[in-house]
Amino acid sequence: MLRAPRCLLWTSVAPAAALAAALLSSFARCSLLEPRDPVASSLSPYFGTKTRYEDVSPGLLAGTEAPWRDPELLEGTCTPVQLVALIRHGTRYPTAKQIRKLRQLHGLLQARGSRDGGASSTGSRDLGAALADWPLWYADWMDGQLVEKGRQDMRQLALRLASLFPTLFSLENYGRLRLITSSKHRCVDSGAAFLQGLWQHYHPGLPPPDIADMECGPPRVNDKLMRFFDHCEKFLTEVERNATALYHVEAFKTGPEMQNILKKVAATLQVPVNDLNADLIQVAFFTCSFDLAIKGVKSPWCDVFDIDDAKKKGEVLEYLNDLKQYWKRGYGYTINSRSSCTLFQDIFQHLDKAVEQKQRNYSLEFCICYSFGSLNLL
């Protein structure tokens, strides 16, 4: 689940810079559109990387396989010869860690309900009781795996790209597609679903064969390229294994903004504020997004935040998530972005090679897709 389509596209022929800028510009504008889906929660703009694709690209609700084309995207003077895409995995289940935290919060509400019978001071059934009875269908085995909706996301993305660049995604080019993925199961499965979508484009109505039997071959696992941060000793030492690296995140969790949210949620759920913490509040917030993305339902978990000051609560929780990503994956530490140099060097080497081979009339890989789970961007 993403705030915006995480596919960055380049073509390797002039005016490549203008085309890349147009693509990025079109994606940026798309991310500012308001959700039109009546099921969408008022919290949807604050889910960050847990946001449904269709909430930031409402055009997907009208046609999931038809691309939205910027009128200035492809001028007649520009002929794309290669496409490079960085593709985030599709919609997934919560991780086992998130599920354990949700189970902890759910157990807290059930224990509270058994003490007072789930009635509020006015005798009416309250939100805490409703959440205690709400089916907790997430299980540890799910652990961030791709859901069927996520496979559908990837198949439809492949169809949109093939429609947007028909000359590149021709049947004769199919064998020259290269798809690289990390070893994370949700990324491998996303890559496989993407290839199934292309098969559907080339052979409508026919069931796809096993991925290993496709002409382009299965996605190639390369963790040194796609999970470079796991192979960068300086990043591991200075950030990943550094107990103080996320000091600012922990400080915000106990700061006045978050404490105000804790008090309001405790009052809403009618539980002692000392039984709650920022992590439990955040997992409730994300559960709203997961139920919305995976099942298309607005669960009572959304009401924890929708009842009062939804915008303010959403902004605080979104900021908490952004703060963590800033210090762990973003510009907080210099090594965060520098660790991605290996991947970006690989990307630009392919672009340079494409220009050279085009000039010599050599055949080349027409599409290189990198499927990733989390990324430290330059």
> By the 8 A CB rule, do 368 and 183 touch?
no
H/E run at residue 346: helix 341-359
User: Burial letters for 258-287: b for 16+ Cβ neighbours within 10 Å, e otherwise?
Assistant: beebbebbbebbbbeeebbbbebbbbbbbb
Region class of 26: left (phi > 0), else alpha (psi between -120 and 50), else beta: alpha
Distances (CA, A) of 26 to 32, 70, 166, 228: 10, 6, 19, 29
Among the listed residues 89, 185, 203, 248, the single catalytic one is 89
CA distance 90 to 311: 27
295 Cβ neighbours under 8 A, 6+ residues apart: none
- DSSP 8-state symbol, 179: E
- Annotated catalytic residue 89: yes
CA 86/CA 179 separation, integer angstroms? 10
- CA separation for the pair 70, 111 (Å, rounded): 54
130: exposed, middle or buried (Cβ count in 10 Å: 0-12, 13-18, 19+): middle
Distance CA 17, CA 287 (A): 40
Active-site residue set = 89
